[in-house]
Structure 1
Amino acid sequence: MFLKIHRSPGTGDVVAVCDRELLNTTITDGDLKVTVSEYFYGGAPVDEAAVTHALSKGDNANLMGERSVGVAIKLGLVSKADCIMIGSVPHVQIYRF
């Protein structure tokens, strides 16, 4: 997985995580196109422990892919029903205020 933390004073940190094979690809679903960019999701691979730590500390999260979303499900932050599918790729956003 790839991880990047976007620091934003006032609105909190956003933890962005995507599965390795999705980085620098474009996912399409009908007219919808989502680019999974290194700029947003980071360029260095991390393990599940790093993702778990970041999700436990972050204010918000943007997760793309089976493994990335699976970590949040395992932590009880979301359920599978909270996810949307973009093509065959699960995606979820988490907002904690």
Structure 2
Amino acid sequence: MSVSMVETWVVKPEYDIEHKQLWKEFLEYMRKNPELFKEIKSMNLYSQTFGNVSGAIVQVVEFESWAEKENLDKRLKNSTECIKFHEELMQMKVVGSISMGAWETYI
């Protein structure tokens, strides 16, 4: 059964360009270090264009199982690059706009 972690947030207006650049750099880091992210089945970033919070960023990360997600979490806690990315990203998010959830395959 597949598990998808879904997070949404709004970027502070003054960080719009920096936010996109940070994600481009991090995605390149992921491509260059596939072994570090081997549990990720797929990952997509979207900009919401209609409904709820227009302009919000939606990130969907898919795993084969909860165990795969937990394995990744343990490894990333020891990654200096990932910790730095997370800290920089958090500075760019509007406080109170962050929402997280988990989806499992239904059928």
Does TM, scored on the shorter chain, surpass 0.5? no
Greater strand percent: which structure?
1
Greater helix percent: which structure?
2
Larger relative contact order (Cα-Cα within 8 Å, sequence gap ≥ 6)? 2
What TM-score comes out, normalization by structure 2 length? Answer: 0.28
